[in-house]
Amino acid sequence: MYLNDYLDDIIRNGLKKPVELGELKTEYEPTRRIYENRSRLVFFTVEGSPYTCYSNILVERKDLYHLLGVNSDVEAYEKILWAVENPAGIERVDFNEYYKPVDNTLYDIPFIKYYREDRGYYLTSSIIVSCIGEVCNASFHRMMRLNESEAAVRIVPRHLKKIVESYHNEGLDAPAVVLLGLHPLYEIAAATSPPYGVYEFSIASRLLGDNLYAYTPIHGIPIPPYAGIVLEGVITREKAREGPFVDILRIPDRVREEPVFRVERIYVNRYRNPLIHAIVAGLDEHLLLMGFPREPLIYDSIRRVTPGVRGVRLTRGSGGWLHAVVSIHKTRRGEGVNAGFAVLTGHPSVKHVVVVDDDIDIDDPLMIEWAIATRVRGGEDIHIIRNARGSTLDPRGRDGVGDKVVVDATKPLEEPWDKYRMAGIP
């Protein structure tokens, strides 16, 4: 269940070739070196931190297939959806058996300035856990270091925000922990959006076949006993300016007033040396880790309206977030349109959807463009929804509200295939 063991396994079996980069500067150099070695698993340290960073563990779909033990997208979707619907329970273990406190500050943690446009030094793989009553949430949130004990946290309007605001509305700081250096299945789970009340780590527990949880000493928050570093503290009612930060579209996100996380105690794992995931915004690993966990939700939404869904892809050109391409086997009129609108239900951040027939390779942008060129009549097949809730990452939107477009690029059922089929090379 430890990240270290998983990395050793994929290296030993030749699935990833490692490269040691040595000590790097905390500004920009990690971004450049990770990009230069994007086909390899990289390890490095940064100035002033005793902890080792790694990157490029999940950059291709084959990396995800190996992680999940599957051979295709649909198998992966079905496995993740099964775990969401059947989350594991909790077996409590002693926190002190797995973690020990250390005399560190946030200056010992490898916060990195990845781009010149970034306001400050960031953690990009920080998974924050907070609970209220029996409800716990685990999700990714970038953190910008402010001083030795505080960091500004970008909290989007989802489940963590709901929990934090519940505390703040009562005049209380929200208890929280920040986890670093977890097995990638915990990361995949933290990037999903199950229904409120389903603890994301219980999804990972189901996939891993392990349901051990240690309750943190100060606030009693249940966490896996396998993290490299644990920062226990509170999300305060104080605000700080966070951003700009270059995000998934390689565009600087704007400055906002965001809550401040104050660390009260730092722990490290007793059994494995901590490793910190350095995720460079806008590179393949960020796109895959952030976007792929949304594809099962899109797939599930589409199959409720058409059984002929063959594939789903959040495209690289849209940051793995704003554009979706869906392949279906159409048997009834209107299925293409229904599939397109189902995408918007499954992943409301999507801005543009293209639905194609199952003879089109959804990983080939030229084939997708060919389908639009040959099978779309604008007045009939392009559908626009105005002023819908979308993504705050869309620079053309206004505070997350904008227009959405569904393009039905499937062949009309009543017309012959020969009119729309691409001839093969003789």
Return the SS3 of 370.
Answer: helix
CA distance 322 to 320: 7
Residue holding tokens 């089109």? 360
CB 211 within 8 A of CB 205: yes
Please tell me the distance from the alpha carbon of residue 370 to that of residue 79, in angstroms, as a whole number: 33
Q: Are 288 and 58 in contact (CB under 8 A)?
A: yes
**Cis status of the peptide bond prior to 217, with omega within 30 of 0:** no
For residues 21 and 38, the answer to whether their CB atoms sit within 8 Å is: no
| 166 vs 351: CA distance, rounded Å | 30
Strand partners, 405: 352, 384
Quickly count: other Cβ atoms within 10 Å of residue 216's Cβ: 21
**Closest of 208, 212, 215 to residue 230, by C-alpha:** 215
Q: For 113, which DSSP code?
A: B
Task: Return the closest-CA partner of residue 395 out of 313, 341, 322.
Answer: 322
Structure tokens at 409: 């690029």
In three state form, how does the secondary structure of 96-111 look? HHHEEEECCCHHHCCC
| CA pair distance 151, 137, nearest whole angstrom | 19
Using a 10 angstrom Cβ sphere, with 0-12 exposed, 13-18 middle and 19 or more buried, the burial of residue 130 is buried
Catalytic site residue from 73, 173, 247, 300: 247
Q: Collapse the DSSP code of 238 into the 3-class scheme (helix H, G, I; strand E, B; otherwise coil) and give the result.
A: strand
> In the annotation, is 247 catalytic?
yes
Closest CA to 409 of 366, 369, 365, 364: 369
Active site residues: 247
